[in-house]
Structure 1
């Protein structure tokens, strides 16, 4: 669907709820900030966020009171966060546990939001209340019911998360301390979930998996819209790898589910023969083991462990590569895949979850999601073929950049959501907009 023009006179007044939104952080907070900021181009937006983000908002030039409101829910949020940190059993682990604790603490934030803005919502000062974050579909919203009773449109999402662990990766699941993930589907029985979906005017889902978890009775107002996008001002280079062997990179935390060890095993023969170089960008608990694995495989030639890098440095390294080799087996959004595509770095990914949905025919290469041995073999074969014949890479790189520009910039995403707003305000007589 083409972006529709949004006349200034039709600009909706939007209260954007983004508890997690911060321009100086990554992951969900950066998504919350980026989407809320982009919506300013298509709507009159007032952002409501958590007080921990206040200083970053001010440093970004927003005026408190006029552009945003910071809600201080720390009385409840701080001890719950500390509890989650203890229960997750390791930095960067137990993500499902963290989400579960957040699902318990978040309602207090929404209660304070309603205390602050309930009168304005009832008075019709906002056309739409849009809860952008949390992204997790397990976190219900009391605001949905409040808005329904006030006659105000309520948009939920994009929601994403809970992609099942592929069969054969229980060892990685245990290493990630994801014990609670075995019980995750129990959230569907919580009464708040049905009330949230029933009272929402529209539900944006960031993945086909999450879309599939929405009950059929609510599908008529469910719209598939991946939550990730790129900022052309942040990723503004064009990849220009020099002559020589195939240049590949990996970007991400060095943790089991992202598969850096599988990548090293697959790339080892090419590294040993000098037919490929590999830049590993990121850090994490697997770093010492990966260094030892590379040594054991005799694959140290052409291999560089860069550790953590600023996004500008990441872009500089990636822009010297032909391929993003990213064998993650449980990626919800796959933002790094979009970043690579924006630079013209061809993604080689596992055809599962977020990355599998972002990479379409002609814009990258997919390896079927199978056993560990099958994924390693698939990546080894794909890399070997590219090293032998890289002639198809420029065409895929060009197509990847075009796809990002047409669908996955924050400005494009804001225009897509503007179409959702327009559909809701028109009375929803037609089917909801379709973007993919």
Structure 2
């Protein structure tokens, strides 16, 4: 097996978002390579609690002298919990180089001595985070692999109000990062880049480095897939939405689009999640007269989310700006057929065999097209049982963490054998079903 130094500054099984992705990728790679993980000191306790041995399996780097002040500043500037992600990412990118400085101080000698075949930076996921290790590894003759990288999906012009509500002021000038000398050096010296989305692949294409497409999100099939074989027999269509209750996620769009079915008693809608729009959603449910057909569950644990997903038939997830869409994969692992917006990550996860994609556009158009799609499903114009099976198979074949480890292992082999063709794992199929609304 190749000897790989995995850099995962953010990697924590007890957290969500990037740290959870970093943990899942880094630890899954231990089954396909001789891996030593380098992470930040804040993750040390979680690593130890999962049975990893410090010094043998991982090293925790203490970069808090720089990281802590930037973290506190980011929390002060973001404009509220869960908001201002571009600001958070920018400040983290300023603090991150010190972490890599300490990594090289600790492991530079071993890298130059050839003790590692590949150095792989898994996190940060953001394309805006520079790396001094790329240049140093190239000089040492050791391939430096970046990714999966994802982020920076532009706000669609129809949703500028949502951009303002999310405090995304810095997103207007985000592209300035690409002119920084440290960023140019990072990509010039990387042996290859794993792109986590089509948008990121296009954004980085001008750097002319080999690009492999592997979405960063994956699934713990033991958590989400094990009980999904029970089958679903309902007297009415079971709809579900999972996500933060904020404007751009579109829970209100989902309710408005499905209200006729809900009023008629032909469907039930479970809304899972919490956020600043909870009160507004409660008012909307009352205004639409669908209290009898909607359950607002609020925040739920991972275990409860998995259990609720297993009872659902269709996920309605009209988020208009989603980088990855991990919740869509969770639904598919449970055999839930997703309806998503064909913009960003979710539209790349769904194929015609297992889901539906709605073109992004004005809110009224999206609402009408989701309404048409759900009505067609309720009228049994599509075989949900067949689509459900296809969704679970797609997860097992491509998106389980075990599958992801195998894909990245193939990238290591490609790097070390100097093969000409970049690996292609068949993630991108034909565009998913798009049902046009009737005028």
Identify unmatched segments of 5+ residues in structure 1.
1-10
1:224 corresponding residue in structure 2: 213
The alignment partner of 2:268 has SS state of strand
The alignment partner of 1:46 has SS state of strand
Q: Equivalent of 1:274, from 262, 265, 272? A: 265
State the alpha-carbon separation in 2 of the partners of residues 347 and 62 from structure 1.
36
State the alpha-carbon separation in 2 of the partners of residues 30 and 348 from structure 1.
25
Contact between 2:376 and 2:382, CA under 8 Å: does it hold in 1?
no
State the alpha-carbon separation in 1 of the partners of residues 231 and 306 from structure 2.
12
- Structure 2 length normalisation: TM-score? 0.95
Deviation for aligned residue 1:242: 3.1
1:175 corresponding residue in structure 2: 165
1:3 corresponding residue in structure 2: none
Deviation for aligned residue 1:390: 6.2
1:293 corresponding residue in structure 2: 284
2:247 corresponding residue in structure 1: 256
Deviation for aligned residue 1:250: 0.5
Q: Equivalent of 1:403, from 368, 381, 394? A: 394
1:21-51 per-residue CA deviation (whole Å, 9 max, x = no partner) reads 0111111111101111111111000000111
Contact between 1:271 and 1:300, CA under 8 Å: does it hold in 2?
no
User: Given the superposition, is the C-alpha separation of residues 242 and 215 from structure 1 closer, same or farther in structure 2, using an over 3 Å criterion?
Assistant: closer
State the alpha-carbon separation in 1 of the partners of residues 260 and 114 from structure 2.
65
State the alpha-carbon separation in 2 of the partners of residues 92 and 24 from structure 1.
17
The alignment partner of 2:101 has SS state of helix
1:301-335 per-residue CA deviation (whole Å, 9 max, x = no partner) reads 21001111111111111111100110011111111
State the alpha-carbon separation in 2 of the partners of residues 267 and 372 from structure 1.
14
The alignment partner of 2:144 has SS state of strand
Runs of 4+ in 1 over 6 A off after TM superposition: none
Deviation for aligned residue 1:171: 0.7
Q: Equivalent of 1:431, from 417, 421, 428? A: 421
The alignment partner of 1:192 has SS state of helix
The alignment partner of 2:378 has SS state of helix
2:380 corresponding residue in structure 1: 389
1:326 corresponding residue in structure 2: 317
State the alpha-carbon separation in 2 of the partners of residues 391 and 158 from structure 1.
34
Contact between 1:110 and 1:141, CA under 8 Å: does it hold in 2?
yes
Contact between 2:187 and 2:207, CA under 8 Å: does it hold in 1?
no
Q: CA RMSD in A?
A: 1.1
The alignment partner of 1:332 has SS state of coil
State the alpha-carbon separation in 2 of the partners of residues 381 and 300 from structure 1.
22
The alignment partner of 1:434 has SS state of coil
Report matched runs for 1:111-126 at 5 Å: 111-126=101-116
Alignment pair present for 1:344 and 2:296: no
1:198 corresponding residue in structure 2: 188
State the alpha-carbon separation in 1 of the partners of residues 247 and 123 from structure 2.
27
1:213 corresponding residue in structure 2: 203
Alignment pair present for 1:16 and 2:6: yes
Report matched runs for 1:155-166 at 5 Å: 155-166=145-156
1:242-271 per-residue CA deviation (whole Å, 9 max, x = no partner) reads 321110100111111111111111122221
1:418 corresponding residue in structure 2: 409
State the alpha-carbon separation in 2 of the partners of residues 141 and 243 from structure 1.
52
1:7 corresponding residue in structure 2: none
- Structure 1 length normalisation: TM-score? 0.95
Deviation for aligned residue 1:388: 2.1
Contact between 1:423 and 1:432, CA under 8 Å: does it hold in 2?
yes
